Amino acid sequence: MLLAGGCLYGVRMPEKTLAQRDLEVVWHPCTQMQDHETLPLIAIRRGQGVWLEDYDGKRYIDAISSWWVNLFGHANPRINAAIASQAQELEHVILAGFTHEPVIALSERLVRMTPAGLSRCFYADSGSAAVEIALKMSFHYWQNRGCKSKVQFLSLTNSYHGETLGALSVGDVALYKETYEPLLLKCRTVTSPDCYQREPGATWEEHSVRVFAHMEQMLEQYHESTCAVIVEPLVQCAGHMRMYHPVYLKLLRRACDKYDVHLIADEIAVGFGRTGSMFACEQAGISPDFLCLGKGLTGGYLPLSVCLTTDDVYAAFYADYVALKAFLHSHSFTGNPLSCAAALATLDIFEQDRVIEQNKRLSAHMAHTCKRFKDHPHIGEVRQTGMILALEMVAARTPRAHFAWQERRGLQVYRYGLANGALLRPLGDVVYFMPPYVITPEEIDVLADIAWEGINKATS
Ligand SMILES: *Cc1c(COP(=O)(O)O)cnc(C)c1O
């Protein structure tokens, strides 16, 4: 056995790199580990704003916010200070029977800022766990109310809600799901309003309205056995950044009311300004029965998620203990004070810097600088919702033909990006930008240039 950088029996051993040490002991998420036989693993020494820096001093623009979590840059001084200060007071305490100021203050603010009617916050530590809570609470609500037949969920094709078994069950990305099918809950899938699929000439709105007919029909047919519909409002992020019009959410809210079915809005990826408004549901003027938040909740600093719900749902669980109606769900780190402090600092930045206003300029700049892709022979669509812009690589434009997935064109863009100073991590053949909000217009231009060259290389 080699000792890292040490002397073994007087023979000087070469020092192992961090990448070598890593590959002996770490198993990475969402990765075929064999890829790292040829794809270098990059060890990051520090982050600053939108920049990540590796141990050779090479810098990368974090164009995907480190998997959609980071909002105000790495090593943000205000969030750093809030966590450091909280750590001096209280790092963690059980949230059953005990409470603390950060979790109370955060809940007050979330209730105030989220769509009307959401009045209770239940915390967890990952997005998937927040989705599990929404599913269990909805099911349990109907049980407590005596509607014993409501035991299933409706979700959209191409949707993604996380990787734990319940969350995976209501998702529809085959790559993540197919293998585990025998383990999953039985769910019904409804056609996604994904506007990439619209007829030539149709607007997003027309397409979203037309596709809603399928949801209406499924609700009519199955409402008696359905607890809830779960959707990602406006953008199906993991499902290749496919987008749709807010009118779909409006129609869905109306139909859920009509058929006595809950609406779960999974804003884990799209919440906190990604779609241009603080929450995507605002653009449809609707309130869901459950709102799941995660990722950007702490500015991308610490694992924290929350499922907000209504007085009506809360009341269905509120009873004498012996009635056995309580929601007895828990996670060890529920409402962790350090995470809550990071979240409070994040919300302060939103207010103090008028971020949603400022982002309008950034998203307009993204649109402007990416105009050039519209005529690219291998870009089938340039689509954007707020601070998310996606470029769909295609083999041919008319009629649209996709590359064989085995060719892994997106991976070529990824490699090109790394070699040239950008962390772009395409979803299949979809290259996208979902940067921290502290990115500058000049940095957006740099990203667009790198994407342009990378796409040219990958498609030639
Ligand atoms: C990332 C994501 C999740 C899962 O969150 P984790 O923190 O990764 O468990 C759920 N839903 C959506 C829409 C997501 O993008």
Of the residues 353, 388, 421, which one is the last residue of a structural domain?
Answer: 353
Ligand 1 center–CA 323 separation, angstroms: 34
Same domain, 133 and 53: no
Same domain, 211 and 333: yes
Helix or strand run (H / E) with residue 324: none
Same domain, 405 and 331: no
pLDDT of amino acid 153: 98
Same domain, 101 and 125: yes
Atom of ligand 1 nearest to the CA of 270: 13
Same domain, 320 and 435: no
Contact 268/293 with Cβ under 8 angstroms?
Answer: yes
- Whether 370 is in a domain gets the answer yes
Transcribe 279-322 into DSSP letters.
SGGGGGT---SEEEE-GGGGTTSS--EEEEEEHHHHHTT-S-GG
Q: What burial letters (b/e) apply to 429-460, b meaning 16+ CB within 10 Å?
A: bbbbbbbbbbbeeebbebbbebbbebbeebbe
Of the residues 353, 368, 396, which one is the last residue of a structural domain?
Answer: 353
Same domain, 416 and 296: no
Segment 387-422, tens digit of pLDDT: 999 999 999 998 899 999 999 999 999 999 999 999
Nearest CA to ligand 1 atom 8: 127
- Whether 2 is in a domain gets the answer no
Same domain, 37 and 102: no
Give the CA distances from residue 286 to residues 88, 98, 246, 250, 265, in Å, rounded to whole numbers and listed in that order. 40, 34, 10, 6, 10
Q: How many domains does the chain have?
A: 2
Of the residues 353, 382, 401, which one is the last residue of a structural domain?
Answer: 353
Contact 23/11 with Cβ under 8 angstroms?
Answer: no
Using DSSP, state whether 452 is helix, strand or coil: helix
pLDDT of amino acid 14: 82
Using DSSP, state whether 244 is helix, strand or coil: coil
Atom of ligand 1 nearest to the CA of 164: 9
The CATH number linked to 196 is 3.40.640.10
Same domain, 335 and 361: no
Segment 199-228, tens digit of pLDDT: 999 999 999 999 999 999 999 999 999 999
Residue matched to tokens 């519909």: 229
Pocket test for ligand 1, best of 168, 295, 331, 388 (most atoms within 8 A of CB): 295
Task: Indicate if the pLDDT at residue 179 is higher than 50.
Answer: yes
Same domain, 360 and 265: no
- Whether 7 is in a domain gets the answer no
Where residue 7 falls among pLDDT bands split at 50, 70, 90? Answer: low
Same domain, 126 and 203: yes
Pocket test for ligand 1, best of 232, 236, 268 (most atoms within 8 A of CB): 268
Same domain, 385 and 338: no
- Whether 446 is in a domain gets the answer yes
Atom of ligand 1 nearest to the CA of 238: 15
Residue 296 Cβ inside 6 Å of ligand 1? The answer reads: no
Task: Indicate if the pLDDT at residue 31 is higher than 70.
Answer: yes
Which domain covers residue 68, as residue numbers?
A: 16-75+355-459
Residue matched to tokens 């198993």: 27
Same domain, 88 and 129: yes
Give the CA distances from residue 96 to residues 89, 100, 105, 455, in Å, rounded to whole numbers and listed in that order. 19, 11, 17, 52
Atom of ligand 1 nearest to the CA of 127: 5
